[in-house]
A and B are shown apart, each in its own frame.
Chain A
Amino acid sequence: MKLLDRAGYRTDDFSRDGSGGSPIVQLAEVNAALEARGADAPVGVEVANNTDVERLAALFDRVALIAIVFPAFSDGRGFSLAKRLRQDGFKGRLRAVGPLIPDQGPYAFACGFDEIELPEAIAARQTEAQWTKAFSAISLPYQPGYARPATILERRLEARRKATEGARHA
Chain B
Amino acid sequence: MYRYDEFDERFVRERVAQFRDQVDRRLSGSLTEDEFRPLRLQNGLYLQLHAYMLRIAIPYGSLSSRQLRQLARIADAYDKGYGHFTTRTNLQFNWIKLRDVPDILDLLADVEMHCIQTSGNDVRNVTADQFAGVAGDEIEDPRPVAELLRQWSSLHPEFSFLPRKFKIAVIASAADRAVLKSHDVGVRIVRNKAGEIGYQILAGGGLGRTPMVGKVVRDFLPRGQLLAYLEALLRVYNADGRRDNKFKARIKILVHEIGVETFRERVEAEFAAGPSYADDETAELARIAASFAQKNYERLPARSETFEAARKTDPAFAEWVVNSLFSHKVDGYAAVTVSLKPVGGVPGDMTSAQMRLFADLTDRYSLGELRVTHAQNLVLPYVKQDELHALWKELAGARLATPNVGLVTDIISCPGLDYCALATARSIPIAQAIATRFADKARQADIGPLQIKISGCINACGHHHVGHIGILGLEKRGQESYQVTLGGDSSENMAIGELLGPGLTADEVPDAIERVVGVYLAQRRAGETFIEAVKRLGVGAFKAAFLGGAQNEAA
Contact = CB atoms under 8 A, between A and B. Distances in A.
A162 interface: no
A72 B315 CA distance: 63
B159 A83 contact: no
Nearest to B42: A103
> Which of A74, A80, A145, A153 has the most C-beta atoms of chain B within 10 angstroms of its own C-beta?
A80
A16 interface: no
A137 B158 contact: no
23 contacts: A73-B35, A74-B38, A76-B162, A79-B159, A79-B161, A87-B274, A101-B31, A103-B39, A104-B161, A106-B157, A107-B158, A126-B25, A137-B21, A138-B14, A141-B157, A142-B151, A142-B154, A143-B156, A145-B231, A153-B280, A154-B280, A156-B5, A160-B283
A146 B158 contact: yes
Interface in A120-147: 125-127, 130, 133-134, 137-146
Interface in B1-60: 5, 7-8, 10-11, 14-15, 17-18, 21-22, 25, 29-32, 35, 38-39
B7 A125 contact: no
B273 interface: yes
Given A141-B155, A155-B7, 7 more contacts: A75-B161, A76-B158, A77-B243, A101-B39, A130-B30, A145-B228, A153-B280
Nearest to B15: A138
Nearest to B283: A157
A146 B157 CA distance: 8
Interface of B: 5, 7-8, 10-11, 14-15, 17-18, 21-22, 25, 29-32, 35, 38-39, 121, 151-152, 154-162, 227-228, 231, 235, 238-239, 243, 273-275, 277, 280-281, 283-284, 287
A75 B243 contact: yes
Given A101-B31, A126-B31, A138-B11, A143 B152 contact: yes
Given A125-B29, A145-B277, A152 B238 contact: no
A80 B239 contact: yes
B337 to A, nearest CB: 33
A125 B235 contact: no
Contacts of A80: 158, 235, 238-239
* A-B CB proximity, top 7 nearest: A76-B161, A110-B157, A107-B157, A152-B7, A137-B18, A80-B238, A142-B151
A102 B30 CA distance: 10
Contact of B21 (A74, A133, A145, A160): A133
Interface string A98-115: 000111101110110000
A125 B155 contact: no
A76 B122 CA distance: 10
A104 B162 CA distance: 13
Contact of A79 (B30, B152, B238, B283): B238
Contacts of A133: 21
Given A76-B159, A138-B155, A144 B280 contact: yes
A111 B21 CA distance: 24
B277 A144 contact: yes
A81 interface: yes
Contacts of B274: 87, 145
Contacts of B284: 153, 156-157
Contacts of B22: 103
Contacts of A75: 161, 243
Interface string A62-95: 0000000000011111011101100110000000
Nearest to A110: B157
A77 B239 contact: yes
A60 to B, nearest CB: 15
Contacts of A104: 160-161
A118 B8 CA distance: 33
A15 interface: no
Contacts of B14: 137-139
B291 to A, nearest CB: 13
A162 B216 CA distance: 42
A157 to B, nearest CB: 6
A79 B157 contact: yes
A108 B161 CA distance: 12
Contact of B280 (A50, A140, A157): A157
B155 A81 contact: no
Contact of A83 (B25, B35, B158): B158
B235 A103 contact: no
B105 to A, nearest CB: 14
Nearest to A76: B161
B30 A125 contact: yes
A35 B154 CA distance: 45
A74 B164 CA distance: 10
Contacts of B7: 140, 152, 155-156
A107 B160 contact: yes
B154 A140 contact: no
A139 B155 CA distance: 12
A110 B275 CA distance: 15
A140 B235 CA distance: 22
A4 B230 CA distance: 31
A111 B155 contact: no
B205 to A, nearest CB: 22
A101 B157 contact: no
Nearest to B122: A76
Contacts of A106: 157
B15 to A, nearest CB: 7
> Which of B35, B159, B161 has the most C-beta atoms of chain A within 10 angstroms of its own C-beta?
B161
Contacts of B162: 76
